[in-house]
Each structure stands twice: as structure tokens, then as C-alpha cells.
Structure 1
Amino acid sequence: MARRNLTNNQSVDDLYNRDENPFLQEDSENSLSSMRFNNNTNENSEDSLIQHHVDSNINTSFNPDVSDYQGYYSKNTSRIDANINNNNGSNMDLSYMHPPNSTNNLLNSNNGGVSNIRGSSTSLNTGLSTNDILSPPQFDRYPQVQSGNRSLAMGTPNPNGNGSSQRAYSSSPGMVSNSSFLSSSNPFVPEQDFSPFGGYPATSFPLHIDEKEDDDYLHNPDPEEEARLDRKRFSEDFKHMDKRSAGGWVGIIFLFMAGIFIFIVLPAVTFTGVIDHTSPAPRNVTDYLTAYQYPQLASIRTSLVDPDTPSTAKTRTAKDGSSWKLVFSDEFNAEGRTFYDGDDQFWTAPDIHYDATKDLEWYSPDAVTTKNGTLKLRMDAFKNHDLYYRSGMVQSWNKMCFTQGALEVSANLPNYGRVTGLWPGLWTMGNLARPGYLGSTEGLWPYSYEGCDAGITPNQSSFDGISYLPGQRLSVCTCDGEDHPNQGTGRGAPEIDILEAEADTTIGVGVASQSLQIAPFDVWYIPDYEFIEIYNFTTTTMNSYCGGPLQQAVSAVTTLNTTWYQFGPEGGYYQKYAIEYLNDKENGYLRWFVGDVPTFTIYSKALHPNGNIDWRYISREPMSIIMNLGISNNWAYIDWQSIYFPVTMSIDYVRLYQPSNAVNIDCDPDSHPTYDYIESHLNAYHNPNLTSWEEAGYSFPKNILTGNCKSSKYSLSNE
């Protein structure tokens, strides 16, 4: 059977290899060893005698398996024979190494010699160790504990079968001091109990279930009692509440009531006006500079011409040499103007994403204001509505329009002139379509047409992809009873671009694209160039882009000075950009300017009938004005690293001139009304998320060409 070591929870092999007492510190062990083997008066003789026997006269015939304790205290003497002879040949009684049967056998040596403890003559034969430790019985793992003094009683079965056992002993009060090491070094005496659990001392471990301790209820909970306490936990806790707990409850109730008052009662009484939190200003702190009462409508202009417009700008010389008068102007000299819907008489800054050209910015009214006598359209790398750029647009849609004349805008363009990517624009569009509201533009932009033929049909009735337009919604031949602002007149929303700025990276200068966008289209989008004038071929050329499936563009490009931009060694200067046009069918023309110098002119005859389409007219619609700063991959390559956000497009002024006999700055003229039509289709004009006329809840009106109906205002015989 494997050996059991009941004094430590370690393997027996580990205990054989230990060189020190597991129950004592190193200093204590050395002290005890000296007390056992050294005599104070005869140190040399006794010490050498014992050491000699221990080191050289071991009886190897002793059976080690008989001993039930092979730890540290047995390794030096368990195999020593009781009758070993010393070096002088005399017999040495080593029976003191055996545990005594009683305290009566403890003898005190008068000469200070080693104390002799007479053990039983059968101690070696019974398998007990020859050291001074009484090990517990091999199979008695949990010895009984006497209730009186909790002394440890351990019995050792007698191999001879006589039923005798050896008992642990305690030191007698009459024991001499030289033998006191027996009680101090023996772990089985009451002062140093042995623990069967591996702990020390044993008296701290309850060995019987009958023993009751104060904390037994923690380890043996009663389910019924616990359930009863759970049901009455609140009442029991409240019953046994101390002052500190009561104070905590009072604090919680106070905080709860304070929260109700602050977040519910106070807002309620404030909203109802029961309490007024505003306190009057303290007296005698500030003095009134004046008692004058400023009128609330002081910012409202009573004249269409800005009073700040200089007198030298009140007239303009037209192409034919006639003088046109100033009919509208805005100098933007008032500081801090805002352009939210309803804030301004003439301009509105929309809050939209301009999806028609897949712009990367969100147009916000926050990005538009007036400062230092200019209108500021600022673009920031600022995330807004899930777009990473924010910029500004102002438009005079349905507020201020003009039918023909000369429109002049002075502007400083954003960023550097040599850097491509930004899309600043100064342009006009027919008032029947609202810029950025695709539901309103479908079927109207960029039509300027009064024919009733293939030009009004979807795709111009051509399968070659020349047009992706849905057809003219408000044609001249709309049937009776259909939805039309003035039946018998072809209506649309043509576009005239005063300026769309880009850059020529080859020569490192800015470029102005100036164009007329119309529909239906010429073959290959090419007008009759015999009726187009370019005045300086060194600075202006016809644009290689003539249009696409959505619009025909009669366009020219002109180089710009880099000083007319925001940044640069000599940047910051303003330049004038203008258009001048008359919409007469025979003598009409459209001319563009950079500064006071005309760049090119298109005459009305350049848009004569071509193929299966009729005349396209220079716009007869009331035109609204749009100014914006955009950015889009649809326009040009974007040189991101060279655009230094924020960038600003600054407008110094806007001035409009018209012939004295043709003044018309109304958005709802008699010949081309718009007001009633817009009011009856507000959904399309006020919801930028609607991308088609049908999605807005309306349908295209029928025409006599495709609708199998009649019109009292138009007949195909008129063709």
C-alpha cells in the first residue's frame, strides 16, 4: 500500500527530499537540533558521539517499509538500531529516540547529559519510527477529537494483534527544561496539534459535524427560511434600517422630487407663462445713446435699383449703340444679409442637394451672407446631409425675373485660376422651372420651341440616341382642356450661362465657358456657325463640347486672368461678366462679355429649322438669375490637393439693363405667365426630392400630334 503523509498535502517523495522541518523556521530547526544533540557541559563528547553513529553506523537491515512516517524527522534516526556501538566499543542506549509510553519515563539527567526516554521494548517491532515524533495511524485519517480539551487522540494498531495502541502524550509540568524540546518539536502535543487536512494546527479545523459554529448558517442555508426572507425582504430591511440607511433613502427621495420639479414642473409653468425667468436689466448700468425708434421695415427697399449703385452705372450702351437704362441692381453693401426662404426681397438660398449634375456639395443657406460690400458664397470641406462639402447658391426664382436686356455681374472667382475642379456659375433659366427641383424641370428644360413636330416628342422620335429628353411638356399644340399656363404658346425653360469657370492646366490660366443651352437639337448638336461671331480668336474659341443627349450647348470658351481669382500672387481682383440679348425672331441676338469686351455673339438665324425640327428661339421666357459655387466630377477633373478649403466666390454687384421701350422685370408677364401655373403645382416646385413630373403627382398634357385630340389655339395647318 502506498505511503500516506498526513501532515502535508504533498507527495511522499517530495517529503523525503526535504532538508528542513516543515513546521518550523530555519532558525528554530537549527536551535532544536542543538538542544537534542548538544550537552551544555559536555558538548564535544556527546555531539561527536551522536554524529558518529548517525553518519557511519546505520543498520541497513532495518525494514523502511515498517515505518509509517518517513518524513524529515525520521530520516536521521529511523534506521538506527537501538544497540549500535560507538567508536569506543561501548553500547549506547538510543531508546530516547522512541516516543515514551508515559510521562513517568521522562528522566532528567543531573549532569546535563542527553535526556533518556525509555520507550516500549516493542517500539521498533511495532513499526513505529525511532524518532521523537509519534505519527498518526496509517488508516486513521480523521482521529477523534475529545470534546473537553480538543486533544488529538490517535491509536496505532499493534501488528502483533494485542490490540494495544500508543497514545499521544503531552508534556508534564514536572518535565525538566533540558527535555522541553520534546514538547516544542513534537507536532502531536496539544500546543502544536497535527492537522489531517494539511493545515496547522489541527485545533482550528472542526472534525465533527456535531460541532456548531457561529457562521454555520452561511454554509448551510435553509431554503424555506431564505424564501420567507425574500418575500419579506423590503419590510425586514425597512424594519431593521439604521440611521445611515434612512438618510440615504431621504436623499434618494429628495433627488427624485427635485428632478420632477426641474424637468417637469418648471418647464410646464414656464411654458404656460406662470413664471417669467427674464429679469429686468439693472438700472444705471447702461445709457441709451438715442431715443430714436428704428422702423422694423428699414431694410426693405422701395426701389428695384439699389441706392448704393453709382450714378455712372445707371445706363449701358447696347450693341446697336442705343442706351439701355438700369432697371434693377443689388450692390450687397448691407452687412450680414441672410437668404433663408422669406428673408430677402430678391434672393433665396435653397437648402438642397443639386442632384441634376451629381454635385458633391450640399447647398445650404448657412454658406451665403454679405460681408465687406460683397455677396459671399463659401464652400467648406464640411460634412452636411451625408455629403462632405457644403456650399451656397442664391436664385431669384419667382421673385425677380427679366425677359430680355443686359445682365452684368462683377465677381471674384474662388481658389487659384490654374487649378481645376471647382464649378462657379453665373447663369439664368426660365422661371417655369426651378433650379435644383427636378420634378419641375422635366419636359421644360432646356426647351425654347414653338413648333409641333418631332421636336416635341420623346427622344425627338429618333432611335440614334440624339436625345434622351421626354419631350416638350407644354407644347404649342397642347389639346383643349389640358394643363397649360397659356394654351397656344410653346413654353419651356432655356438656360443662358453668363459664366461657368474652369481651368486650362496646359497653360495654367482660368477659362470661362459661356453658352446657350436649348432643345430640341440640331443634327450632331451643331448650329449654323455662319451666324456666330468671335471677336478675338487669341482669347476665345468655340467650345469643342457642343452638347449631349440632354441638351445642345452653343458655347465658346475664353481665357481669364489669374488675378481675377481668390488666391494667387496678385489675386483678389474682380471682373465683370455679362450677357446682352434681344429675342426677336428675325433680328434677335445673344452676346457674351468678359469685362467690357464682347467675346462672341450668336444670332437668332443660327437656330433656324434643321431636318425635322423647326426654329429654336433665343429665350422669350421670364428668366430668373442663379449664382452658385459647386463641385462635381461631371464638370471637370478635381485637383483635390490644390483646392484650399474653404474657398469663396465673391459677388460685388448684379445689375440689369433693358431698352426703355421693353422694360420687363416681372416673373409673370402677360405673354408668358407663370404664377398661376406654379401655384397649382406647388408640390413639384417645393419638394427637391421629387425627380419627375409624374412623381410629383401630375401627368404630361396631351398634344394634337400624338394625343389624338384637338386644340382650338393651334392647327397643324399652321405649319
Structure 2
Amino acid sequence: MAAPTGRFAGSAPYARNVSPAVSTTDLLEHEKPHAALLSPATAGSLLPPMSPDSRRGSVSTLADKYSLAPDPRQWGSGISLQDREADDDLHNPDPRRDHRIDRGGTICTGRGILNLGCLFILSSGLLMLFAGYPILSYFLTKQPVTLGGYNLGGINATGQVPEMIGNFGLIDPTTPKEAYTRLSLEDGSEWDLVFSDEFNTAGRSFYPGDDPYWEASDLHYWGTNNLEWYDPSALTTVDGNLRVSLSKSTPKYHELDYMGGMMSTWNKFCFTGGYFEANVSLPGSTKAFGLWPAIWAMGNLGRAGYGASLDGTWPYTYDTCDVGTLGNQSFTDTTPPGAHRDGDPSKNGELSYLPGQRLSACTCKGESHPGPKRADGTFVGRAAPEIDMFEAQVSGDYIGHVSQSGQWAPFNYHYEWFNTTENIKIYNASVTKLNEYTGGAYQQSTSGLASTNQECYSAGGGCFSVYGFEYKPGYDGYITWVNDGQPSWTIRGAGMGPDPRVELTGGRPVPVEPMYLIVNLGISPNFGAIDWENLIFPAYMLVDWIRVYQPKDAHSIGCDPPDFPTREYINTFIEAYTNPNLTTWVDDYGQVNPKNRLVDKCD
């Protein structure tokens, strides 16, 4: 390879890869210094050499190409305002033409109609969003109901909100659809299911606060001399049934030898009128007697097991101001005579030992009373009546029976109600008969005694029987009981009508109070003899389901209905309803009975 020449001769081997430099002297030698940058390379350059004249010509040609003459008219483009260009109409409006169009144009074109339609749809949508939807939502949204709960948010007495399922908030979702209606025993009309519990969820607890409808008792039921302590642990759900147990306690539990179970829907679920039924396998067997299982209903103004709340309210159902509202059902001068003879043999023939109806129609104005008031300012008589679906027992000849009864006050003379043909019906005399027990100094009873299905005991054949009662409240009402799925007997309201023998001027209506449900299993010598030798503990009562129905046009559920309120009164005297150690209203609780205008001076 030949050696490089020129000013890069000493820089081999990079001379072929580096552009030749231009010195300051070179720039000064040129007429236009910047042209030196375009000068030809020396020997070894990649560009061919150019003469000085060629370089000057090249630069002049480039400058001429991109320069303009001083006179704009020589530029070759129209620059006059009068010259028209192709796009002038886009940015140079014609006032005369536009004015003519604006004044004489029309929107009745396809495009105009489309624009107006778009604006209409847009404005309508905005109006619907911000005005129409809130209005429709207000009127069409179904307002929540409390279903008997009356505290903030519709909670019940223990602060819970039951699960709501569709339109059947009180119906167990596992209740079969075919059980959603039934026919009335009275007239065959179709009734609706308004409450059900199938007890299908295993391991349920009924301690206070654990269940939205049921609450187990934790107390001694001293009022009927029970031998057991009612404890919440005695109730649970097993194999699709409610299991209520009665067991022997070793050592003693609360100084008692037995532990039983009782639960109720007091102040949580109540109903007024309807049909209340249960599918039950009774405890034990017919080979031993002495157990006391029961399912029943009571007015919400009295809480079972809480004596102070029951003192003067149970088992009254009366709305007349007469001697029937007074203690011992008589005046201080011992009138009427019928109240002091042929009564309870254990009380020297006295008819009544009740303290009097505390919340009677005779209550003076201004006294404590749950209401309501009549138009004349007098109070409606209020109380806590009782209807028993059944109380079961085995007789001494080892035949199982159920007593199906109503408890009443004030009392008929000699506890004789008017059981005439018009007022009573027994559907099968070979199964049901009137109970010989009709009452005592603390209650009058109208009871039918019916033979049970002898196999439907949990320690016997293990089958289940349907028990129930259907009732219509009021003086013209009725109660019909069901035993083993069949009507057992009926009492008409007229059977508890006025009784001049004891100066009762008013009848005792079939209970009109909101009633709650009670389930219990205990043991007491007050209910009958006890076969200690053959009874086996623990004993279990099993309840497959409980259901309540009401006429389609007469749904009435809730413990605080407007025509028979209870909430305010219960809250005012809440200790009487929550302290089972308070046995009486005056002596234990320290309250005073409201004045009765028959014997007290009203203010």
C-alpha cells in the first residue's frame, strides 16, 4: 500500500477514516469563508478535487435557489386581497350570503331533525337521572317492615334483625311450598303461612341473643311448683328437630334435682288470630307417667316465669267494668254471694284468689295503663290470656292424653261455663271428652282431654303427631283444637258469656291480645302423679316444625299492634319483665296498682 501524502501523512493508519481538517489559513484564503468547509479534500480524501471557480459556482447556485427578490410581486404568488384562492370560502365568510341563510333558512331538514332529536334524548336522560329516578325510587321501593321488632332499625327485644326471605320474612326457607297455605277448620277458606320454623339447622342455640325469634328461659318456674330449673342448654336442634330435654342433675343444679327447657317468642314474634300448629314426638313413652311437656300461647303483656308481670294480668281476658275486675272477684262487703261459695274446695269454697285485673276497663284516667282509650276516655281492658295447644300426660293406666284448653278470668260461678250444644263441639267422642277439671282459685279452665297416638313418643314408636289450635278473637270468636292431625273439639265465644250468678255483666272474649309462642318440658307434682320408679332420664320432646297461619284478608302479626299496644308499657316497667325473682307487682316490685273507679276515688 502506498504511503499517504499531504497534511495527514504522519497519521497513518487512520488517514483513510478521518475527514480532512480545514485550517484558519484556508478560511482566510477564500472569498466566502464558509465555502472552505465545502472545499475539496487533499490527497487521500474521499471526495474528488474541485477548482476554486467550481466551488464558488456551487455556492451561488444554492443561495439563489432559496433567496427571494426584494419586490414581493416578483415572488410568483398572488398577494393581493383581491386575489382568490381555492380555500377562501372556508375562512372568508360572506356576510350577505350568511345573513340571507340565517334569516331565510329552515331547520326542517334531516340534519336539523337529527340534531333536535339528539338534544331531546340527552335532556330527557338527564331529567330522568336527576329527577325521575329519585321520584320513582321513593314511590316504588317497598318500605322495610319491622315484623314485630320495634327498636331502632326494627330490631327485636334482644337487639337482632331477623333474616328476611322474599315476602315471607318470618318463614323458614326450608318450609315446603305446599305448606304455604292451608284451609280453615271453620269455613274451609284458604289461609296464608305467616311464620314457620323447621328446625333443620343442626346445633342451634337459644341462649338470649342467639336466635332472632326464640329465647330460652334461665329460671325456676316456681309458680307451678316445678322440680326442675329451666336452662338454655336443655334446648338445641338435632337431626332436623328441636330437642327439649329433661335430665336429672347430679349434683343439684340451682339447688334443684332436674334440668328442663323452656323457650318462647315473647316480645319478638306475636300473632292475633289464626292457626298455630306443631309436629311433635312427645317425651318418654306411655310406660311411665309424670312428665309435663307443653306448647302454648300467652298474651305479650305477661311473660311466662316472670311473676310480677303476670300478677293481675294472667289469665284475664275481660273488657267490662264490673266486679269481675276486683280482687277475689267481689266487693269488700263480700258481694256477690256466688263468689264465696261453691268455689275452690281447697280455699274454703272461695271462687277466686286473684288480685284483680290490674289493667282493667275500670282504670281511672291518668293511671298507668298500656291503652288504648275509647272515644269517651275510658280504657280498654288489657291482660295476658292463655291458650294451650297441649299439655301432655300419661294416665295411671298408661294411656297417653293431651289436655287442650283455654285459661280464663274472671270466673263463672262454680267454674261452670255454658257448655251447651251451641257452644261446644266434640268431633270424635271416642278420642276426646271434656276434662273434669274446670278450674280453681287462680284460673278457670275449659279443656278437652284427647287420647294421643300411642306410638308418637320419642322413647316409644318415635313417630310424630300434629297438634294445633285455630282461633278467632272476640265475643263471637271460637277456638278449635287439633290432635293427631284431626279436629278435636271447639268452644264458641258465647260459652264464656255473662254470668249473673256472680254478677259478671260482660262476657270473656276469645283472646284479643297479641299472643306469643311457648315450648317447654318440665316436671311437677302439681300437674299429676309422678312414676319415679319407671321414668327414664334424660327424656326428650322432639318438635319437627312449628307453623302459624292467618286468613288472607286478616294478617295480624307483631307484639305491639296499634289497637293493642305493649311496647311503651313493657319498657316503662321493664324490670318486671326481666327479673324472674320479682314474684308480685306490689310487694316485690314495689309498684302500686292503678286505681279502679269501682272502689277508688278517681282524680
Structure 2 unaligned spans of 5+: 1-159, 331-338, 342-349, 374-378
Q: Any residues of structure 2 matched to 1:96-495 within 5 Å, and which? A: 300-302=163-165, 303-318=169-184, 319-382=186-249, 383-461=252-330, 462-464=339-341, 465-486=350-371, 487=373, 488-495=379-386
* Counterpart Cα distance in 1 of 2:362 and 2:552: 33
SS for the counterpart of 1:485 is coil
Over 3 Å counting, the alpha-carbon distance change for 1:299 and 1:708 in structure 2 is closer
The counterpart of 2:589, out of the listed 685, 696, 700, is 696
- The answer to whether the 8 A contact 2:162-2:212 is kept is no
Q: Considering only CA atoms, is the larger Rg found in Structure 1 or Structure 2?
A: 1
Q: Any residues of structure 2 matched to 1:551-566 within 5 Å, and which? A: 551-566=443-458
* Counterpart Cα distance in 2 of 1:299 and 1:676: 22
The counterpart of 2:601, out of the listed 703, 708, 712, is 708
* Counterpart Cα distance in 1 of 2:425 and 2:538: 38
Q: Is the counterpart of residue 589 in structure 1 residue 482 in structure 2?
A: no
* Counterpart Cα distance in 1 of 2:583 and 2:446: 26
* Counterpart Cα distance in 1 of 2:391 and 2:282: 10
* Counterpart Cα distance in 1 of 2:485 and 2:239: 24
- The answer to whether the 8 A contact 1:517-1:552 is kept is yes
Over 3 Å counting, the alpha-carbon distance change for 1:603 and 1:299 in structure 2 is closer
Residue by residue over 1:230-256, the C-alpha shift from the partner in whole angstroms, topping out at 9 and shown as x without a partner, is xxxxxxxxxxxxxxxxxxxxxxxxxxx
Note the C-alpha offset of 1:335.
1.1
Over 3 Å counting, the alpha-carbon distance change for 1:299 and 1:521 in structure 2 is closer
* Counterpart Cα distance in 1 of 2:594 and 2:510: 24
* Counterpart Cα distance in 2 of 1:526 and 1:684: 33
Residue by residue over 1:103-137, the C-alpha shift from the partner in whole angstroms, topping out at 9 and shown as x without a partner, is xxxxxxxxxxxxxxxxxxxxxxxxxxxxxxxxxxx
Which amino acid is the alignment partner of residue 524 of structure 1?
H
SS for the counterpart of 1:679 is helix
- The answer to whether the 8 A contact 1:564-1:575 is kept is yes
- The answer to whether the 8 A contact 1:443-1:473 is kept is yes
- The answer to whether the 8 A contact 1:418-1:505 is kept is no
SS for the counterpart of 1:641 is coil
* Counterpart Cα distance in 2 of 1:418 and 1:665: 40
* Counterpart Cα distance in 2 of 1:515 and 1:707: 35
- The answer to whether the 8 A contact 2:162-2:213 is kept is no
Aligned to 2:66: none
Q: Is the counterpart of residue 601 in structure 1 residue 464 in structure 2?
A: no
* Counterpart Cα distance in 2 of 1:324 and 1:535: 22
Note the C-alpha offset of 1:660.
1.3
Which amino acid is the alignment partner of residue 297 of structure 2?
T
SS for the counterpart of 1:578 is strand
* Counterpart Cα distance in 1 of 2:233 and 2:164: 23
SS for the counterpart of 2:414 is helix
Q: Any residues of structure 2 matched to 1:472-621 within 5 Å, and which? A: 472-486=357-371, 487=373, 488-506=379-397, 508-530=398-420, 531-568=423-460, 571-586=461-476, 588-611=477-500, 612-613=503-504, 614-621=506-513
- The answer to whether the 8 A contact 2:287-2:534 is kept is no
SS for the counterpart of 1:338 is coil
Note the C-alpha offset of 1:642.
1.1
* Counterpart Cα distance in 2 of 1:311 and 1:595: 22
Aligned to 1:628: 520
SS for the counterpart of 1:444 is coil
Report how many residues are paired. 410
SS for the counterpart of 1:388 is strand
Over 3 Å counting, the alpha-carbon distance change for 1:565 and 1:628 in structure 2 is same
- The answer to whether the 8 A contact 1:509-1:561 is kept is no
Residue by residue over 1:561-614, the C-alpha shift from the partner in whole angstroms, topping out at 9 and shown as x without a partner, is 22110123xx1101110100101323x110000133111000011111002012
Identity among equivalent positions (%) equals: 46
Which amino acid is the alignment partner of residue 482 of structure 1?
E
Larger % of strand: which? 2
* Counterpart Cα distance in 1 of 2:381 and 2:439: 22
Note the C-alpha offset of 1:298.
12
Note the C-alpha offset of 1:504.
2.3
Aligned to 2:110: none
SS for the counterpart of 1:377 is strand
Which amino acid is the alignment partner of residue 399 of structure 2?
V
Q: Any residues of structure 2 matched to 1:37-52 within 5 Å, and which? A: none
Aligned to 1:86: none
Which amino acid is the alignment partner of residue 333 of structure 1?
N
Aligned to 1:658: 550
* Counterpart Cα distance in 1 of 2:474 and 2:217: 33
- The answer to whether the 8 A contact 1:418-1:504 is kept is no
Which amino acid is the alignment partner of residue 512 of structure 1?
V
SS for the counterpart of 2:297 is strand
- The answer to whether the 8 A contact 1:418-1:562 is kept is no
* Counterpart Cα distance in 2 of 1:597 and 1:331: 21
- The answer to whether the 8 A contact 2:474-2:511 is kept is no
SS for the counterpart of 2:593 is coil
* Counterpart Cα distance in 2 of 1:436 and 1:608: 30
SS for the counterpart of 2:253 is coil
Where relative contact order (Cα < 8 A, 6+ residues apart) is larger, the structure is 2
* Counterpart Cα distance in 2 of 1:555 and 1:376: 27
Over 3 Å counting, the alpha-carbon distance change for 1:306 and 1:693 in structure 2 is same
- The answer to whether the 8 A contact 1:513-1:555 is kept is yes
* Counterpart Cα distance in 2 of 1:677 and 1:515: 28
Over 3 Å counting, the alpha-carbon distance change for 1:561 and 1:692 in structure 2 is same
- The answer to whether the 8 A contact 2:241-2:542 is kept is yes
Note the C-alpha offset of 1:301.
4.8
* Counterpart Cα distance in 1 of 2:264 and 2:302: 12
Residue by residue over 1:647-678, the C-alpha shift from the partner in whole angstroms, topping out at 9 and shown as x without a partner, is 10111111000011111110000111001100
Structure 1 unaligned spans of 5+: 1-296, 711-719
* Counterpart Cα distance in 1 of 2:474 and 2:316: 17
* Counterpart Cα distance in 1 of 2:305 and 2:291: 18
Which amino acid is the alignment partner of residue 481 of structure 1?
G
Aligned to 1:648: 540
Note the C-alpha offset of 1:463.
3.5
* Counterpart Cα distance in 2 of 1:663 and 1:649: 30
* Counterpart Cα distance in 1 of 2:164 and 2:236: 18
TM-score, scaled to structure 1: 0.56
Note the C-alpha offset of 1:299.
8.8
Which amino acid is the alignment partner of residue 183 of structure 2?
T
